[in-house]
């Protein structure tokens, strides 16, 4: 396991981390959570990702119970929460000072920790001034309840505005962004955020396997036990059954063929491709089984197989590299 700085902060996170979206409290009970987190920790993973919106807080409660039982030294790992979807009432969602503060307190209780290492705004809130959110995050940091704060799926413009507020008011700026990033979703990480990396932005990327599509398991149809058939994930199934989704699946088949020639399973190829980007601080893995997590971690043993020639071949297949900024 190698470790990367979270942007320009002093915090070093493992190049791959363990997330709980879809799995914890939906596919994973406490017994499985203990095995998954132990496997990750023993492999050198030091960042565990969560959110108030995952299973209405039950995901955090499960992770908190597991952390308490496992007894990892608190100074040896980082744990996160994300704020936005806390409930149905107006004061239970969004990024108002009230909800940002109360959601942090609730996450601390569910995760059974004294502070959150990372605290993300799960989505932008167009109904709350960014200045209000920046102040709320800064206050939590000065109170010692949060160490670093960041965003998820914000635009470059929204992040720039948050930084401008922080500079003007002498507040703590966002340290990291959590965007989706994989062979099919590239624009934000590779183009939109380019000016922000020099300002100190780190990225904790999610869905590196495109919700499992880049494992190749959907090449012959949707398995009954896949996440696409889980209640509440009908939107995901619809996305990949569309014409655009079917076109991408054809590219997955070509990628699988290339991976076989290289001597890798396709999901290892996809994970290692994400890690090739120096602006990626950590790749968040999701797993419902210990064997699945161990397999994904094994990808780290094959970094040397992703040669420049292989990268070129990958680009020829996906054919979606964002255009570089033009010089005139």
Q: Counting Cβ atoms within 10 Å, is residue 326 exposed (0-12), middle (13-18) or buried (19+)?
A: exposed
- In the chain, which ranges are E strands? 3-5, 12-14, 16-19, 47-49, 78-83, 116-121, 146-151, 176-177, 202-205, 282-285
Q: Round to whole Å and give the CA distance between 186 and 180.
A: 8
Question: Catalytic: which of 41, 54, 148, 193?
Answer: 54
Q: Round to whole Å and give the CA distance between 159 and 139.
A: 18
User: Does residue 54 carry a catalytic annotation?
Assistant: yes
- In 6-57, which ranges are E strands? 12-14, 16-19, 47-49
Q: Return contacts of 260-263, CB within 8 angstroms, 24+ apart.
A: 262/305, 262/310, 263/302, 263/305
Q: Which residues are catalytic?
A: 54
């Amino acid at each position: 396991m190698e470790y990367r700085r979270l942007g320009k902060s002093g915090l070093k996170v493992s190049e791959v981390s363990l997330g709980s979206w879809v799995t914890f409290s939906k596919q994973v009970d406490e017994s499985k959570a203990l095995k998954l987190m132990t496997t990750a920790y023993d492999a050198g993973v030091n960042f565990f990702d969560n959110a108030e919106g995952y299973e209405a807080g039950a995901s955090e409660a499960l992770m908190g119970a597991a952390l308490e039982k496992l007894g990892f030294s608190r100074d040896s790992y980082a744990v996160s929460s994300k704020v936005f979807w806390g409930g149905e009432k107006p004061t239970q969602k969004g990024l108002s000072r009230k909800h940002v503060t109360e959601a942090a307190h609730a996450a601390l209780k569910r995760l059974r920790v004294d502070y959150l290492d990372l605290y993300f705004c799960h989505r932008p809130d167009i109904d709350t001034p960014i200045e209000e959110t920046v102040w709320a995050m800064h206050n939590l940091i000065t109170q010692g309840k949060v160490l670093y704060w960041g965003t998820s799926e914000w635009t470059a413009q929204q992040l720039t505005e948050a930084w401008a507020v922080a500079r003007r008011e002498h507040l703590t700026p966002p340290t990291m962004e959590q965007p989706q990033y994989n062979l099919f979703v590239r624009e934000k990480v590779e183009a939109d955020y380019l000016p922000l990396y020099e300002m100190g932005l780190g990225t904790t990327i999610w869905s590196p396997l495109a919700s499992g599509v880049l494992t190749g398991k959907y090449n012959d149809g949707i398995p009954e036990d896949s996440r696409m058939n889980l209640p509440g994930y009908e939107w995901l199934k619809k996305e990949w059954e569309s014409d655009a989704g079917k076109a991408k699946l054809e590219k997955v088949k070509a990628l699988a063929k290339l991976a076989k020639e290289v001597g890798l399973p396709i999901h290892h190829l996809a994970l290692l491709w994400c890690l090739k980007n120096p602006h990626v601080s950590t790749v968040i893995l999701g797993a419902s089984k210990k064997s699945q997590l161990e397999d994904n971690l094994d990808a780290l043993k094959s970094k040397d197989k992703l040669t420049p020639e292989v990268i070129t071949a990958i680009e020829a297949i996906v054919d979606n590299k964002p255009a570089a900024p033009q010089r005139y």
